[in-house]
Amino acid sequence: MSSARHQPPATLRAVTFDVGWTFLSVRPSVGHVYARVARDWTGQTFDPRRLDRRFQAAWRRCADFDHSRAGWMALVDATFAGLVTEPPSRTFFGELYRRFGQPDVWRVDPHLPEVLTRLRSHGLRLGIVSNWDLRLRPLLRALDLERHFDVVIISAEVGFSKPSPAIFLRAADMLGLAPQEILHVGDDPRQDYQGARHAGFQAVRLHRGLRRPEPRRIGSLRHLLPWIRRAGFLGTRGL
């Protein structure tokens, strides 16, 4: 008796990664960067933790954020609404936009280099599938990360965003692989996990703080390799 439930997993030939909050995060936080730039322009002192909360609230109100410069401008204005006399779009937004394109604002997950090296050592191709603006590619170069990936798919460059299957299928096409041969790793349950699955990819969600890996969730990038091994994606090639 056979069923889809008992079929062996597809052979894994590539792994794609989300970027923001999967292997890159703002240091020390969005609110700290906002507070520094705003203080330099206005002379006011801002609480970074309060700005973090306001940014997160504004972000949650953005449905299908398009990562355009205009979109970021509206988000920053919403974060500072009522805190400054003139909205950042008329004052310091340009400096903020520039700052987030600089490598010193970003922290690379310390587990990433080893993870990429071990995946590559088993013949797996590597890619990025990210909702981001045109600052991402030069940022990856400045962080010496772009060279580690075979393909880099950025929503602002291709014209469609996660969770649309189209962005994932573009990655599959550029890798020359069937979707089921690719595992996508990301932190967002809708954009990364559901989007990848709808495109036919394998998927695992990065849920930081999760103590033990679950069937479709890991708590750290360092858990990715053991998770792939347990899932049986590499057959007898174990990690």
Q: What is the pLDDT of residues 122-154, one digit of tens each?
A: 999 999 999 999 999 999 999 999 999 999 999
Phi, psi of 146, deg, nearest 5: -55, -35
Locate 140 and state its tokens: 């990856």
For the cut 90, the answer to whether the pLDDT of residue 2 exceeds it is: no
Residues in CB range of 30: below 8 A, 6 or more apart: 51, 52, 55
Report the alpha-carbon distance of residue 49 to residue 191 in Å, rounded: 26
Q: What is the pLDDT of residue 88?
A: 98
Q: Give the mean pLDDT of 177-190.
A: 97
pLDDT (tens digit per residue) in 64-100: 899 999 999 999 999 999 999 999 999 999 999 999 9
Backbone angles phi, psi at 229, to 5 degrees: -60, -45
209 burial level (CB within 10 Å; 0-12, 13-18, 19+): exposed
- Binned at pLDDT 50, 70 and 90, residue 1 comes out as very low
Q: Give residue 9's pLDDT band: very low, low, confident or very high (50, 70, 90).
A: low
Tell me the pLDDT tens digit for each residue of 71-81. 999 999 999 99
- Give CA angle at 12 (11, 16), nearest 5°: 160
